[in-house]
Amino acid sequence: MAIVNSCIRLLMREGNREKFSGKVLQLGNQEIITTEECLQKIAQEENFKLLEANCDIGYGRSKFGEHPTTVSSKYFFQRLGFETVDALDFSSFEGANIIHDLNVLLNKDFKNIGDYNLIYDGGTIEHIFSMPNALKNIFDLLSVGGRILHTSPVNMFNH
């Protein structure tokens, strides 16, 4: 699961349509494959105002460890305008801070119900067996007026 420059451009266009703020939930902790210089170039081309992040750029995850051609997802989403950046996955293996299997419906006591202004799916939902449960869970986690963005791959290896 990765956010590449074409997805960065798509996110910036959506952020120009309606300004980002509040909380973002990534389905799976995304690998952001870009550099700070490239991020600034795309923002200039898209007339998108990047905000300051309250964390270090922190090289993001890569299959090869920390790498200078990636930035952390927290840094990236804060630059887009989100104050809180969370990641949901069925395990903490890739750094998710919310652990839940989307095949299983959330119970009413789940602490993040209705919290998120944006839910970003960059390649998770196609791996879920129970699509109705996954979609209901995503909807339940979304705040009123929130947005969902799916950028699931359809022509990659194993997809």
Q: What is the 3-class SS of 116-135, one letter each residue?
A: EEEEEECCCHHHCCCHHHHH
Angle at 5 between CA 66 and CA 34, to 5 degrees: 25
Q: Residues 108, 83: contact at Cβ < 8 Å?
A: no
Half-sphere exposure of 141 (CA within 13 A, CB side): 27
pLDDT at res. 130 = 95
Tens-level pLDDT at each residue, the chain (159 residues): 789 999 999 999 999 999 999 999 999 999 899 999 999 999 999 999 999 999 888 765 555 555 567 889 999 999 999 999 999 999 999 889 999 999 999 998 888 999 999 999 988 888 889 999 999 999 999 999 999 999 876 665 555
Answer whether 0.85 is exceeded by the pTM. Answer: yes
The pair of structure tokens assigned to 21 is 């703020």
